[in-house]
Structure 1
Amino acid sequence: MMQVLTFALGILLAVSALAIDDVVATGSFTSKAKAKQQLVKPKRVKGLPSTAALSPQISEQSRVEISRFIYQAPALEEQIAALLLPVTGSQIETTTLLTTKDKINQLFVTNGFINTGMVIPDQQIHKGALKLDFISGKISDLQISSRLKDKYISSRLEINEPFNLVQLQDALKLLEQN
Protein backbone atom coordinates (compact mmCIF):
# COMPACT_ATOMS: atom_id res chain seq x y z
CA MET A 1 0.00 0.00 0.00
CA MET A 2 1.38 3.36 -0.97
CA GLN A 3 1.44 5.87 1.81
CA VAL A 4 1.78 9.52 1.15
CA LEU A 5 3.32 11.50 3.90
CA THR A 6 3.31 15.19 3.39
CA PHE A 7 4.93 17.46 5.84
CA ALA A 8 5.46 21.12 6.23
CA LEU A 9 7.54 22.68 8.86
CA GLY A 10 8.29 26.22 9.72
CA ILE A 11 11.73 26.84 11.08
CA LEU A 12 12.25 29.93 13.13
CA LEU A 13 15.36 31.07 14.88
CA ALA A 14 15.30 31.20 18.63
CA VAL A 15 16.81 34.68 18.47
CA SER A 16 16.32 37.21 15.70
CA ALA A 17 19.96 38.30 15.87
CA LEU A 18 20.82 36.14 12.88
CA ALA A 19 18.23 37.87 10.71
CA ILE A 20 17.43 34.68 8.85
CA ASP A 21 14.06 34.63 7.17
CA ASP A 22 11.75 31.79 8.13
CA VAL A 23 12.64 28.69 6.19
CA VAL A 24 9.87 26.42 5.05
CA ALA A 25 10.70 22.94 3.90
CA THR A 26 8.04 20.88 2.20
CA GLY A 27 8.12 17.49 0.63
CA SER A 28 6.02 14.53 -0.36
CA PHE A 29 7.26 10.96 -0.13
CA THR A 30 5.35 8.38 -2.15
CA SER A 31 7.91 5.58 -2.38
CA LYS A 32 11.38 4.72 -1.16
CA ALA A 33 12.88 5.50 -4.57
CA LYS A 34 11.15 8.87 -4.77
CA ALA A 35 12.03 9.61 -1.16
CA LYS A 36 15.72 9.25 -1.97
CA GLN A 37 15.35 11.53 -4.98
CA GLN A 38 13.46 14.15 -3.00
CA LEU A 39 15.82 14.33 -0.04
CA VAL A 40 17.64 17.61 0.00
CA LYS A 41 21.30 17.83 0.79
CA PRO A 42 21.84 21.11 2.64
CA LYS A 43 23.81 23.59 0.61
CA ARG A 44 24.70 27.22 1.18
CA VAL A 45 21.80 29.04 2.81
CA LYS A 46 21.29 32.69 2.05
CA GLY A 47 20.54 34.86 5.01
CA LEU A 48 23.16 33.63 7.46
CA PRO A 49 24.92 36.42 9.33
CA SER A 50 26.94 38.49 6.91
CA THR A 51 30.51 39.54 7.40
CA ALA A 52 29.15 43.05 7.99
CA ALA A 53 27.72 41.88 11.33
CA LEU A 54 31.04 42.35 13.12
CA SER A 55 31.02 44.74 16.07
CA PRO A 56 32.27 48.31 15.57
CA GLN A 57 35.13 47.90 18.08
CA ILE A 58 36.54 45.01 16.10
CA SER A 59 35.70 46.23 12.61
CA GLU A 60 37.52 49.54 13.18
CA GLN A 61 40.76 47.63 13.63
CA SER A 62 42.57 46.08 10.72
CA ARG A 63 44.31 43.51 12.93
CA VAL A 64 43.30 41.89 16.19
CA GLU A 65 45.15 39.55 18.51
CA ILE A 66 43.08 36.65 19.77
CA SER A 67 44.64 34.41 22.39
CA ARG A 68 41.46 32.49 23.12
CA PHE A 69 37.80 32.23 22.15
CA ILE A 70 34.98 32.03 24.67
CA TYR A 71 32.00 30.09 23.37
CA GLN A 72 29.61 27.24 23.95
CA ALA A 73 28.77 25.54 20.66
CA PRO A 74 25.45 23.73 20.34
CA ALA A 75 27.02 21.04 18.12
CA LEU A 76 30.12 20.19 16.06
CA GLU A 77 32.50 21.28 18.84
CA GLU A 78 35.59 19.48 17.50
CA GLN A 79 35.18 20.85 13.97
CA ILE A 80 34.64 24.38 15.30
CA ALA A 81 37.76 24.12 17.47
CA ALA A 82 39.72 22.98 14.41
CA LEU A 83 38.52 26.03 12.44
CA LEU A 84 39.41 28.39 15.30
CA LEU A 85 42.88 26.93 15.90
CA PRO A 86 44.65 28.71 13.00
CA VAL A 87 43.38 32.13 14.15
CA THR A 88 44.22 31.61 17.83
CA GLY A 89 47.39 32.98 19.42
CA SER A 90 48.51 35.50 16.83
CA GLN A 91 47.56 38.79 15.26
CA ILE A 92 45.13 38.30 12.43
CA GLU A 93 43.36 40.51 9.94
CA THR A 94 39.74 41.19 10.81
CA THR A 95 38.84 39.84 7.37
CA THR A 96 40.44 36.52 8.38
CA LEU A 97 38.28 36.49 11.50
CA LEU A 98 35.20 37.16 9.38
CA THR A 99 36.16 34.40 6.95
CA THR A 100 36.52 32.00 9.88
CA LYS A 101 33.06 32.99 11.14
CA ASP A 102 31.63 32.33 7.68
CA LYS A 103 33.35 28.91 7.56
CA ILE A 104 31.81 27.99 10.92
CA ASN A 105 28.35 29.04 9.73
CA GLN A 106 28.85 27.03 6.53
CA LEU A 107 29.93 24.03 8.64
CA PHE A 108 26.58 24.14 10.42
CA VAL A 109 24.64 24.35 7.15
CA THR A 110 26.64 21.55 5.52
CA ASN A 111 25.91 19.30 8.50
CA GLY A 112 22.16 19.93 8.40
CA PHE A 113 21.91 22.69 11.03
CA ILE A 114 20.36 25.00 8.47
CA ASN A 115 19.22 27.69 10.88
CA THR A 116 21.98 27.63 13.48
CA GLY A 117 24.92 29.98 13.29
CA MET A 118 27.60 32.02 15.00
CA VAL A 119 27.76 35.77 15.51
CA ILE A 120 30.48 37.94 16.96
CA PRO A 121 28.71 40.23 19.44
CA ASP A 122 29.59 43.86 20.09
CA GLN A 123 32.51 43.77 22.55
CA GLN A 124 35.95 44.96 23.50
CA ILE A 125 38.66 42.33 23.23
CA HIS A 126 40.08 42.03 26.75
CA LYS A 127 43.35 40.14 27.28
CA GLY A 128 42.99 38.55 23.85
CA ALA A 129 39.68 36.83 24.66
CA LEU A 130 36.93 37.07 22.04
CA LYS A 131 33.40 35.93 22.89
CA LEU A 132 31.44 34.12 20.19
CA ASP A 133 27.68 33.64 20.37
CA PHE A 134 25.95 30.66 18.81
CA ILE A 135 22.29 30.90 17.95
CA SER A 136 20.53 27.52 17.90
CA GLY A 137 17.73 27.17 15.39
CA LYS A 138 14.56 25.37 16.33
CA ILE A 139 11.29 24.30 14.81
CA SER A 140 8.52 26.64 15.79
CA ASP A 141 5.67 24.79 14.11
CA LEU A 142 5.08 21.34 12.68
CA GLN A 143 2.10 20.73 10.41
CA ILE A 144 1.39 17.17 9.35
CA SER A 145 -0.99 16.02 6.62
CA SER A 146 -1.44 12.28 6.73
CA ARG A 147 -4.07 9.65 7.31
CA LEU A 148 -2.11 8.77 10.45
CA LYS A 149 -2.69 10.66 13.68
CA ASP A 150 -0.59 13.79 14.10
CA LYS A 151 0.48 12.75 17.59
CA TYR A 152 1.75 9.39 16.29
CA ILE A 153 3.89 11.06 13.63
CA SER A 154 5.23 13.91 15.76
CA SER A 155 6.17 11.51 18.58
CA ARG A 156 8.39 9.58 16.16
CA LEU A 157 10.13 12.59 14.65
CA GLU A 158 11.97 13.52 17.88
CA ILE A 159 12.77 17.04 16.77
CA ASN A 160 15.54 18.46 18.91
CA GLU A 161 17.23 21.79 19.33
CA PRO A 162 19.32 22.74 17.48
CA PHE A 163 17.23 21.73 14.50
CA ASN A 164 18.95 19.41 12.03
CA LEU A 165 17.42 18.84 8.60
CA VAL A 166 19.33 15.60 8.00
CA GLN A 167 18.03 14.09 11.25
CA LEU A 168 14.47 15.08 10.31
CA GLN A 169 14.86 13.49 6.87
CA ASP A 170 16.18 10.28 8.45
CA ALA A 171 13.23 10.21 10.88
CA LEU A 172 10.79 10.71 8.00
CA LYS A 173 12.38 7.84 6.07
CA LEU A 174 11.97 5.54 9.08
CA LEU A 175 8.39 6.68 9.55
CA GLU A 176 7.61 5.97 5.91
CA GLN A 177 8.92 2.40 6.29
CA ASN A 178 6.40 1.70 9.09
Structure 2
Amino acid sequence: MQVAFLVAPAGTEQIELTEPWQAVLAAGGTPTLISTRSGRIQAFHHLDKADTFPVDLTVDAASVADFDALVLPGGVANPDALRLDKGAISLIASFFETGKPVAAICHAPWTLIEADMVRGRTLTSWPSLRTDIRNAGGTWVDKQVVVCTQAANTLVTSRKPADLPAFCKAMVEEFAR
Protein backbone atom coordinates (compact mmCIF):
# COMPACT_ATOMS: atom_id res chain seq x y z
CA MET A 1 0.00 0.00 0.00
CA GLN A 2 1.62 3.21 -1.25
CA VAL A 3 0.09 6.24 0.50
CA ALA A 4 0.63 9.88 -0.45
CA PHE A 5 0.56 12.50 2.30
CA LEU A 6 0.02 15.98 0.84
CA VAL A 7 1.33 18.81 3.02
CA ALA A 8 2.12 22.48 2.40
CA PRO A 9 5.61 23.71 3.33
CA ALA A 10 4.38 25.30 6.58
CA GLY A 11 1.41 24.83 8.82
CA THR A 12 0.37 21.20 9.23
CA GLU A 13 -0.68 19.98 12.66
CA GLN A 14 2.14 17.58 13.50
CA ILE A 15 0.08 14.89 15.19
CA GLU A 16 -2.33 14.85 12.23
CA LEU A 17 0.65 13.97 10.03
CA THR A 18 2.61 11.64 12.30
CA GLU A 19 -0.18 9.43 13.69
CA PRO A 20 -1.70 8.54 10.29
CA TRP A 21 1.86 8.08 8.94
CA GLN A 22 2.61 5.60 11.74
CA ALA A 23 -0.71 3.84 11.14
CA VAL A 24 0.20 3.34 7.47
CA LEU A 25 3.63 1.97 8.47
CA ALA A 26 2.08 -0.34 11.09
CA ALA A 27 -0.27 -1.71 8.41
CA GLY A 28 2.73 -2.54 6.20
CA GLY A 29 2.26 0.43 3.90
CA THR A 30 4.74 2.95 2.55
CA PRO A 31 3.96 6.62 3.19
CA THR A 32 5.38 9.36 0.93
CA LEU A 33 5.47 13.04 1.89
CA ILE A 34 4.45 15.25 -1.03
CA SER A 35 4.59 19.05 -0.91
CA THR A 36 4.42 22.04 -3.21
CA ARG A 37 8.16 22.67 -2.73
CA SER A 38 11.18 20.46 -2.15
CA GLY A 39 13.17 20.55 1.09
CA ARG A 40 11.40 20.22 4.42
CA ILE A 41 7.92 21.00 5.71
CA GLN A 42 7.31 22.73 9.05
CA ALA A 43 4.85 21.08 11.42
CA PHE A 44 3.13 22.77 14.35
CA HIS A 45 1.63 21.95 17.72
CA HIS A 46 -1.35 24.27 17.30
CA LEU A 47 0.42 27.65 16.87
CA ASP A 48 3.88 26.63 18.10
CA LYS A 49 6.55 25.37 15.71
CA ALA A 50 7.26 21.68 16.10
CA ASP A 51 9.42 19.35 13.99
CA THR A 52 10.33 19.56 10.33
CA PHE A 53 10.02 16.64 7.93
CA PRO A 54 11.79 15.93 4.64
CA VAL A 55 9.76 16.14 1.44
CA ASP A 56 9.97 12.97 -0.64
CA LEU A 57 8.32 14.32 -3.77
CA THR A 58 6.92 17.59 -5.10
CA VAL A 59 3.38 17.96 -6.42
CA ASP A 60 4.60 18.59 -9.96
CA ALA A 61 6.58 15.30 -9.92
CA ALA A 62 3.85 13.21 -8.24
CA SER A 63 1.62 10.86 -10.19
CA VAL A 64 -1.59 9.45 -8.76
CA ALA A 65 -0.75 6.21 -10.61
CA ASP A 66 2.09 5.62 -8.13
CA PHE A 67 -0.19 5.63 -5.07
CA ASP A 68 -3.06 3.61 -3.66
CA ALA A 69 -4.48 6.34 -1.40
CA LEU A 70 -4.13 9.95 -0.22
CA VAL A 71 -4.01 11.47 3.28
CA LEU A 72 -4.67 15.17 3.85
CA PRO A 73 -3.51 16.25 7.34
CA GLY A 74 -5.06 19.31 8.90
CA GLY A 75 -4.00 22.36 10.78
CA VAL A 76 -5.40 25.69 9.66
CA ALA A 77 -2.49 26.91 7.52
CA ASN A 78 -1.84 23.62 5.68
CA PRO A 79 -5.12 23.28 3.76
CA ASP A 80 -5.39 27.05 3.41
CA ALA A 81 -2.08 27.09 1.52
CA LEU A 82 -2.80 23.92 -0.47
CA ARG A 83 -6.15 25.17 -1.75
CA LEU A 84 -4.33 28.06 -3.44
CA ASP A 85 -1.97 25.73 -5.31
CA LYS A 86 -3.41 24.51 -8.63
CA GLY A 87 -1.06 21.51 -8.75
CA ALA A 88 -2.09 20.35 -5.28
CA ILE A 89 -5.79 20.69 -6.08
CA SER A 90 -5.31 18.85 -9.37
CA LEU A 91 -3.53 16.00 -7.58
CA ILE A 92 -6.34 15.74 -5.01
CA ALA A 93 -8.99 15.69 -7.76
CA SER A 94 -7.03 12.97 -9.59
CA PHE A 95 -7.34 10.63 -6.59
CA PHE A 96 -11.12 11.01 -6.71
CA GLU A 97 -11.28 10.73 -10.50
CA THR A 98 -9.33 7.46 -10.42
CA GLY A 99 -11.45 6.00 -7.59
CA LYS A 100 -8.69 5.91 -5.00
CA PRO A 101 -9.52 6.45 -1.31
CA VAL A 102 -8.82 9.78 0.38
CA ALA A 103 -8.63 10.59 4.10
CA ALA A 104 -8.85 14.14 5.48
CA ILE A 105 -8.85 15.45 9.04
CA CYS A 106 -9.65 18.72 10.77
CA HIS A 107 -9.36 21.70 8.33
CA ALA A 108 -8.17 19.50 5.42
CA PRO A 109 -11.65 19.37 3.80
CA TRP A 110 -11.01 22.95 2.65
CA THR A 111 -8.86 21.38 -0.06
CA LEU A 112 -11.69 19.00 -0.97
CA ILE A 113 -14.04 21.96 -1.33
CA GLU A 114 -11.55 23.70 -3.64
CA ALA A 115 -11.26 20.50 -5.71
CA ASP A 116 -15.09 20.35 -5.88
CA MET A 117 -15.13 16.91 -4.26
CA VAL A 118 -17.63 17.33 -1.39
CA ARG A 119 -20.81 17.74 -3.46
CA GLY A 120 -23.24 14.95 -2.55
CA ARG A 121 -20.95 13.54 0.15
CA THR A 122 -21.40 13.27 3.91
CA LEU A 123 -18.33 14.24 5.90
CA THR A 124 -17.06 15.78 9.08
CA SER A 125 -14.35 18.32 9.86
CA TRP A 126 -13.33 20.93 12.35
CA PRO A 127 -16.70 22.59 13.17
CA SER A 128 -15.81 25.95 11.60
CA LEU A 129 -15.87 24.32 8.14
CA ARG A 130 -19.49 23.12 8.37
CA THR A 131 -20.93 26.11 6.48
CA ASP A 132 -18.24 25.87 3.79
CA ILE A 133 -19.01 22.17 3.34
CA ARG A 134 -22.76 22.78 3.16
CA ASN A 135 -22.27 25.65 0.68
CA ALA A 136 -20.16 23.32 -1.49
CA GLY A 137 -23.00 20.78 -1.64
CA GLY A 138 -21.85 18.41 1.09
CA THR A 139 -23.62 17.21 4.23
CA TRP A 140 -21.68 18.04 7.41
CA VAL A 141 -22.14 15.86 10.50
CA ASP A 142 -20.58 16.11 13.94
CA LYS A 143 -19.09 12.63 14.32
CA GLN A 144 -15.70 11.27 15.32
CA VAL A 145 -15.17 9.65 11.91
CA VAL A 146 -17.24 9.45 8.74
CA VAL A 147 -16.67 6.99 5.90
CA CYS A 148 -18.50 8.04 2.74
CA THR A 149 -18.39 5.93 -0.41
CA GLN A 150 -19.62 7.53 -3.59
CA ALA A 151 -18.95 6.53 -7.21
CA ALA A 152 -16.42 3.83 -6.19
CA ASN A 153 -14.40 6.34 -4.20
CA THR A 154 -14.13 6.35 -0.42
CA LEU A 155 -13.61 9.47 1.68
CA VAL A 156 -12.67 9.13 5.37
CA THR A 157 -12.96 12.29 7.48
CA SER A 158 -12.51 13.25 11.14
CA ARG A 159 -12.86 16.42 13.19
CA LYS A 160 -9.74 16.90 15.31
CA PRO A 161 -6.64 15.35 16.92
CA ALA A 162 -8.74 13.67 19.61
CA ASP A 163 -10.39 11.65 16.81
CA LEU A 164 -7.08 10.28 15.50
CA PRO A 165 -7.48 6.72 16.87
CA ALA A 166 -10.83 6.30 15.09
CA PHE A 167 -9.57 8.16 12.00
CA CYS A 168 -6.44 6.02 11.67
CA LYS A 169 -8.39 2.77 12.18
CA ALA A 170 -11.02 3.66 9.54
CA MET A 171 -8.38 5.04 7.16
CA VAL A 172 -6.23 1.90 7.27
CA GLU A 173 -9.30 -0.36 6.87
CA GLU A 174 -10.47 1.56 3.81
CA PHE A 175 -7.01 1.79 2.28
CA ALA A 176 -6.56 -1.98 2.65
CA ARG A 177 -9.75 -2.76 0.64
With normalisation by structure 2, the TM-score equals: 0.25
The structure that is strand-richer by fraction is 2
Larger radius of gyration: 1
